[in-house]
Amino acid sequence: MNVLGIETSCDETAAAIVSDIGDGGGTILSNVVLSQLDDHRPFGGVVPEIAARAHLDQLDSIIARALDDAGMTLEAIDGIAATAGPGLIGGVHVGSMTAKAIASARRLPFIAVNHLEAHALTARLTDDVEFPYLLLLVSGGHCQLLAVEGLGQYTLLGTTIDDAIGEAFDKTAKLLGLGFPGGPAVQDAAATGDAARFKLPRPLKGRPGCDFSFSGLKTAVRQTALKLEGTASAQDIADLAASFQTAVCDTVADRCRHAFAMFADSHGGTPPALVAAGGVAANIALRETLEKTCAPHGIKLVVPPPALCTDNAAMVAWAGLERLKAGITSPLDFRPRPRWPLAELRAAE
Ligand code: KG4
Ligand code: ZN
């Protein structure tokens, strides 16, 4: 079975083809991602209207390239999957409408994919992870810990009570004059920094549960940056970036340890695997921290390769394929959802 996946929920226009290879596995036949970063950079963030128009301009040719790269035509496709939320609704409409149009013209099943479920299931494509597992979803819009029980079955254990983790990276980068997108820029600057130089808070560390908070950390970074303003050397900026990144890693490690215990309470044992998903999972320091956090508990850490952590359409095609194999498709009048929490997702939705 070959599924064409389409991703347009933020600032990447992407199309990919994923095929099943038996035994529940899959393989990526093509994966085309066109980043709109240059269109948004002058504004220091993603502008929804510009994003939607760029998706509209580019999507047809990106789909044609995905088919070309896979060496196939639409004849060989068995289902069309598109991100139908959550995300910037203009872009989501462009992707969903295109997918519905192809599905309708070719009489193929349409699968409305939840973008977060696509991130969540990627590790099953890359590493054959079996249900249940613990999921750390860390992206530009989210920071959550969930128990993944099965397709469409998610139990929320903890979430951010203010900013998303990627947002914290992006805002820190802005404060430090490191440009956009912030995550990779902070990571690069931190590489030559002294993480022990600035004492920054670890919000909610040690508190019960596994919720997250980043606004206090952001404020502390702002106050430190203000004190340095005008006199900040490249080393000062590197040190502050490193101190911030380490504070984030410490906090996430603490929250994960609490989630291990919560998972154990409800499942009678620690999770066999912790899967990190979403753009921030591309962060190398975070990966190293998670490795150290999992090891003492015998928990396997699974982090997909960076190109499959950040937004892409292979993850959408794979989520579509998993649903199609389970006999779950979506009606052509499926309404895209700007807000669509994983904990509200049901397998049949
Ligand atoms: O999942 P994603 O590509 O888009 C959605 O939010 O759905 O995540 C984007 C976020 C941005 O905030 C970006 O700065 C962050 O992921 N990011 C990183 C890194 N690469 C991307 N954050 C920290 N370190 C990175 N290496
Ligand atoms: Zn994403």
Instruction: Kindly state if the Cβ of 286 falls inside 6 Å of ligand 1.
Output: no
Q: DSSP of 240-298, one letter per residue?
A: HHHHHHHHHHHHHHHHHHHHHHHHHHHHSS--SEEEEESGGGG-HHHHHHHHHHHGGGT
Q: DSSP of 189-230, one letter per residue?
A: HHTTS-TTSS----TTTT-SS--B--HHHHHHHHHHHHHHTT
179-211 pLDDT, tens digit per residue, is 888 999 999 999 999 999 999 999 999 999 999
Taking the centre of ligand 1 as the mean of its atom positions, its distance from the CA of residue 166, in whole angstroms, is 5
277-301 pLDDT, tens digit per residue, is 999 999 999 999 999 999 999 999 9
Q: What is the CATH number of the domain that holds 142?
A: 3.30.420.40
Does residue 349 sit within a domain? no
Binned at pLDDT 50, 70 and 90, residue 37 comes out as confident
Tell whether 265 and 144 lie within a shared domain: yes
181 CA closest ligand 1 atom index: 14
Taking the centre of ligand 1 as the mean of its atom positions, its distance from the CA of residue 20, in whole angstroms, is 28
Does residue 287 sit within a domain? yes
Tell whether 203 and 281 lie within a shared domain: yes
Q: Which ligand is nearest to the CA of 303?
A: 1
Does residue 89 sit within a domain? yes
Task: Output Rg (C-alpha) for the chain, integer angstroms.
Answer: 20
Instruction: Kindly state if the Cβ of 282 falls inside 6 Å of ligand 1.
Output: yes
Is the per-residue pLDDT at 348 higher than 80? no
Taking the centre of ligand 2 as the mean of its atom positions, its distance from the CA of residue 138, in whole angstroms, is 9
Tell whether 280 and 320 lie within a shared domain: no
C-alpha 21/C-alpha 27 separation (Å) is 7
Contact (CB, 8 A) for 15 and 5: yes
Tell whether 141 and 168 lie within a shared domain: yes
Over range 76-91, report the average pLDDT: 97
Query: What's the structural domain count of the chain?
Result: 2
Contact (CB, 8 A) for 60 and 96: no
Does residue 241 sit within a domain? yes
Tell whether 229 and 265 lie within a shared domain: yes
Tell whether 286 and 176 lie within a shared domain: yes
- Domain residue limits at 31: 2-122+308-344
pTM of the predicted model, to two decimals?
A: 0.94
Over range 224-247, report the average pLDDT: 94
Is the per-residue pLDDT at 349 higher than 70? no
Mutate to test the pocket of ligand 1, among 167, 275, 280, 290 (most ligand atoms within 8 A of CB): 280
Q: Is the dihedral of CA 223, 228, 233, 235 positive or negative?
A: negative
* Alpha carbon nearest to ligand 1 atom 13, residue: 183
Tell whether 168 and 212 lie within a shared domain: yes
* Alpha carbon nearest to ligand 1 atom 5, residue: 140
Tell whether 241 and 107 lie within a shared domain: no
* Alpha carbon nearest to ligand 1 atom 19, residue: 183
Tell whether 161 and 90 lie within a shared domain: no
Tell whether 321 and 293 lie within a shared domain: no
* Alpha carbon nearest to ligand 1 atom 2, residue: 279
Residue identified by tokens 């509200």 is 344
Q: Is the dihedral of CA 58, 60, 63, 65 positive or negative?
A: negative
Tell whether 138 and 262 lie within a shared domain: yes
Distances in Å between the Cα of 182 and the Cα atoms of 79, 148, 159, 167, 170 are 35, 29, 21, 8, 4
Does residue 263 sit within a domain? yes
Tell whether 243 and 316 lie within a shared domain: no
pLDDT at position 17: 98
**Cα torsion through 124, 130, 131, 132, rounded to 10:** -110
pLDDT at position 229: 80
55-67 pLDDT, tens digit per residue, is 999 999 999 999 9
